[in-house]
Structure formats: C-alpha cells, structure tokens
Structure 1
C-alpha cells in the first residue's frame, strides 16, 4: 500500500508522574502499525502536567481541572497542550490524533476541543486510555474513544477509570427527566484485558504477556488501531 503524502500528526499525552521514556515502546509500535496501514505518522510526546520530577499532588489537582465541562473551568493540562500546539497547527495540514493515558486523556480531549472551537483543526480523533471520565460534548462524541482495563470476568478494574462522570439528565417529550450515566460518554468505549494495573497499558515484556504471548502494548495499540481503521 502506498504511503499517503499528507502526514498524520500524532500526539501522545502523558498523565501524572510519568517518566520521560514511558512512551518509547508505544511510539515505536504505533509508528509501525500506522505505516503498515499506509499512513505516514509524525509522532510527538507531550507532558500536560509535567514529568515525574514534579509534585504528584500538584499534578493531580491540575488533572481535576480537566474533568469539568464548566465554561470557567481551569483545564490546566488541556490549556498547556493547546498553548504548545496552537501556533504550529496553523502551518500543519492533514489529520490530527491525540492519544492520552490517564490524566493525559482528559488533557487530550480538552485541548482538541479548544483547537476545534478556534478553527485550528477539523479532521481529528482523540483516544483516551485508562483515563478519568471526562464529559464529552455531543458534537464531538463520535471523534472520541475510550479504552479501560477489565478483569477475566469483563469487569472494569482500573480505579482511575472510575473517577469523574459522563452522566447527565435526559428527557424525552413530556416524560419525567431521568439520569443517564452515559449522556456525555465518548462515542466508543471498550474494555481491554490488561495484565497488571493502571500504569501497565503500554508494557511489552514479562510479566505483562498473557498465555497466548500477547503483551499489553499489542492489545492496547491493536484495539486503538481497530477503532481508527475507518478513519485512517
């Protein structure tokens, strides 16, 4: 398959207390998979809340600002990413993919929303991996996917993915309003049988390899790639 002339701009967004090398294997795997699909990726790693050298308490408080859709919310991580990207995106054409782990997923959505509202990007997708639940604007729900860890019984087992809410009141006609837990959910939500915990979605070596010799990284990037396939 011929590689497309217009590159795909990919941004990997880290969460709280992340080391600077945490995305190395993910970046390599993602680049290989995208090129196999005939896509020419330009991949960059961003730290919306700083790296592991910053205070974890300060970083957690900043993540909380990105979990709200209130007009006056601080959205610190999202704004940090927006500030880093807004100037360069004026000169970049093509498609944009933001993949965020943990709090980075909240920052990825908030940054994409601000960029879209300012007319800086039109063709984009956001992937949230092991992230807190951030309310997604209905206009953007089909552009956002969400992946979380599940146990052998298919139950959600990453505590970070229980933080936040997608809920909201809905009403049809003259019926009594009722609460929907998924009113502001991403357009696509899927559980992945990850070995380990919240920090292990992108692990690619023992003990993060299952009995069929599939590592967490392959599972995560494989499912992300499947969701993106129609868009790529």
Structure 2
C-alpha cells in the first residue's frame, strides 16, 4: 500500500484514565512493524492527556468529562493538553490519533482544535472503547469508533455507554425527533474482544479460541478502516 504523501506520518497513542506508562508498548511495537512493512515510516508518540496511573483518578475522570462536550468553548482539558504538546510538530503534517477510553475523547478534541486553527487537515481519529463524544458534522468521515462486543454482537464495554451522540432532527411534518446517532462518528464497529475495557491492546492471555489476541483484532479493524488513506 503506497503512502499518499512524502510527509511523515505522526501517530499519537492517547491513554485514558488510570493507565500505566507501559500500556501501549505492545501496540506501538506492532504498529511500527506493520507500517514499516508497507513502506511507511511512522513517528509514534504515546501521550497521557490526564496523567498516568499514579495520578488521582477522581481528578482524571473530571477532566475527561470536559472533553465529552461538543460546545465551541468547552473546557476540553485533555484535548487542549494534547494540542499544546503537539501543535508545533504536527502543523501541515499527516497525523493519526488513536485514543483508548478517555484518550479517544481527547484525541477528537485535539484534532478539532488543530483543524479550527488551520494547522491540521490530513488526519484521522480512532476512538477505542471511548465514551461517546459528539462529533462535529464536518469531521464525521475522519473519525471512527470501535467498542467491545460479546458473542452475540452486543456492546459489553460499560465505558462505551457513557456520553451521547444524540440530537434533535426534524422528521416528516416538521415534528422534532431524537436521533441518537446524529453526532456519531462516521464509522462505528464492534470488536469481539476477550476480557474487559482495559484489554483492547493486550496480547496473551487475551486470546480467543482461534488464537487471535485482542491487540491483533483491534489493529486489524483499525487498519481496515484506514485503507485508502494510509
């Protein structure tokens, strides 16, 4: 698969609440291996918008809540922290944001801030096991959302039930009707993972009956969505 541009691909892995500093090690290594095999030379950065596992969890959760709003002047604490850290390096470059849990909300908000100031245009945002953050209509096609499902295809990650994509629309006869997907990402998919919310990027022992680990499942689905852009 050929790269569309000669500019480097910046990949940002964004952690959620109470995440250890080594949580993305396997994911980073696997992404580097796969992208290099396709002739892509990525610059992969691991960021902690709300601090790591050593920080007070209540403060982290309260900061995540500020990133769940789509209001123009919302606090966006995690998103603004990421924006501040990367704005000088990513300007005019290609960027891929992959955020787990609250990191998915921060990823979207950071990308939106960068786009609002005209610093970023060629990018994609991947939210994994994240709270539902309303996505601006102009950004829908650049944002994907992956969540864990059980053997029946039913959502089984409680964090993915937090927040809302809903909004009012006018139906026939101009009667307002609530559409729960009005502000949803452009692509939403369930992944049959083993374990719980914290295990999307884990290898053994989080392996299914076909010997496929959660990390490979998650990366495989993300890469499939990114086809045509990478």
Say if 1:82 and 1:189 are closer, same or farther in 2 by CA, change over 3 A. Answer: same
Say if 1:70 and 1:5 are closer, same or farther in 2 by CA, change over 3 A. Answer: closer
Q: TM-score, normalised by structure 1?
A: 0.95
Which residue of structure 1 lines up, in the alignment, with residue 215 of structure 2?
217
Note the alpha carbon deviations across 1:106-153, whole angstroms, 9 max, x for none. 000000000001011110000000000000000000000000000000
Gapped runs of 5+ residues in structure 2?
Answer: none
Q: Quick one: distance in 2 between partners of 1:61 and 1:212?
A: 39
**How much has 1:70 moved relative to structure 2?**
1.8
Which residue of structure 2 lines up, in the alignment, with residue 35 of structure 1?
36
**How much has 1:40 moved relative to structure 2?**
1.3
Say if 1:135 and 1:40 are closer, same or farther in 2 by CA, change over 3 A. Answer: same
Which residue of structure 2 lines up, in the alignment, with residue 133 of structure 1?
132
Which residue of structure 2 lines up, in the alignment, with residue 178 of structure 1?
177
Note the alpha carbon deviations across 1:23-51, whole angstroms, 9 max, x for none. 00000111112223322111000000011
**How much has 1:2 moved relative to structure 2?**
7.0
Is 2:171–2:177's contact at 8 Å kept on the other side of the alignment?
no
Q: TM-score, normalised by structure 2?
A: 0.96
Q: Quick one: distance in 2 between partners of 1:228 and 1:2?
A: 12
**How much has 1:98 moved relative to structure 2?**
0.5
**How much has 1:9 moved relative to structure 2?**
0.5
Note the alpha carbon deviations across 1:164-210, whole angstroms, 9 max, x for none. 0000001157421100000000000000001000000001111x011
Q: Alpha carbon RMSD of aligned pairs, Å?
A: 1.4
Which residue of structure 1 lines up, in the alignment, with residue 146 of structure 2?
147
Q: How does 1:44-63 map to 2 (within 5 A)?
A: 44-63=45-64
Which residue of structure 2 lines up, in the alignment, with residue 65 of structure 1?
66
Say if 1:148 and 1:2 are closer, same or farther in 2 by CA, change over 3 A. Answer: closer
Is 1:6–1:40's contact at 8 Å kept on the other side of the alignment?
no
Is 2:10–2:90's contact at 8 Å kept on the other side of the alignment?
no
Q: Quick one: distance in 1 between partners of 2:55 and 2:2?
A: 43
Gapped runs of 5+ residues in structure 1?
Answer: none
Is 2:95–2:123's contact at 8 Å kept on the other side of the alignment?
yes
Runs of 4+ in structure 1 over 6 Å off: 1-4
